[in-house]
Amino acid sequence: MPNPIIRWQIVSPEPDKAANFYRKLFQWKLSKANAMGYRELKTETKSVSPVDGGVWPSPPGQGSMAQLFIEVADVDACVARATKLGAKVIVPKSVLPDGDTMAVLLDPVGLSFGVCRLKG
């Protein structure tokens, strides 16, 4: 078994605000909070493909963190929508050496996340 990543979670002191931000930004379906306060976001992704990742050095003065990257059709449009919903741009749109296009944002509750358009 290759030990694939099969789930992700966002932990926030403002879970309603965080959940609603991602629901609005990506049109994901959001369940009501259960007895433990967990709110499920359904991405409705049908394919099961590898979720690859890597390890980067953190910027000076910043600690360790995990960061999700969400595939989008249009990085510019997603960044514009995210900023209207209260996000801030941390890393402006850039083209990576492999041809992918990405940007990194800070959501309204302080979690950084990336959006990416894969080449091809």
Looking at per-residue pLDDT, the higher value among 74 and 11 belongs to 74
Distances in Å between the alpha carbon of 1 and those of 4, 5, 44, 85? 8, 12, 25, 40
Say if residues 74 and 81 touch (Cβ distance below 8 Å).
no
pLDDT confidence of residue 65: 76
Q: Is residue 1 part of a domain?
A: no
Q: Is the dihedral of CA 117, 108, 90, 67 positive or negative?
A: negative
DSSP 3-state assignment of 12? coil
Number of domains in the chain: 1
Q: Is residue 97 part of a domain?
A: yes
DSSP 3-state assignment of 30? strand
Share of the chain above pLDDT 70, in %: 88
Determine the structural domain holding residue 112 and report its residue range: 15-46+65-117
Identify any residues that bridge with 102 across adjacent strands, giving them in sequence order: 94, 116
Q: Is residue 54 part of a domain?
A: no
Q: Is residue 5 part of a domain?
A: no
DSSP 3-state assignment of 46? coil
Average pLDDT score over the chain: 86
Please report, for the domain that includes residue 73, its CATH number: 3.10.180.10
Find the mean pLDDT for residues 6-22. 87
pLDDT confidence of residue 36: 84
Distances in Å between the alpha carbon of 71 and those of 47, 67, 76, 116? 13, 13, 13, 5
Q: Is residue 8 part of a domain?
A: no
pLDDT confidence of residue 44: 79
pLDDT digit string (tens) for 31-83? 998 888 889 888 877 655 666 677 777 778 877 777 888 999 999 999 999 99
Verdict on whether the full-model pTM lies above 0.75 = yes
pLDDT confidence of residue 115: 94
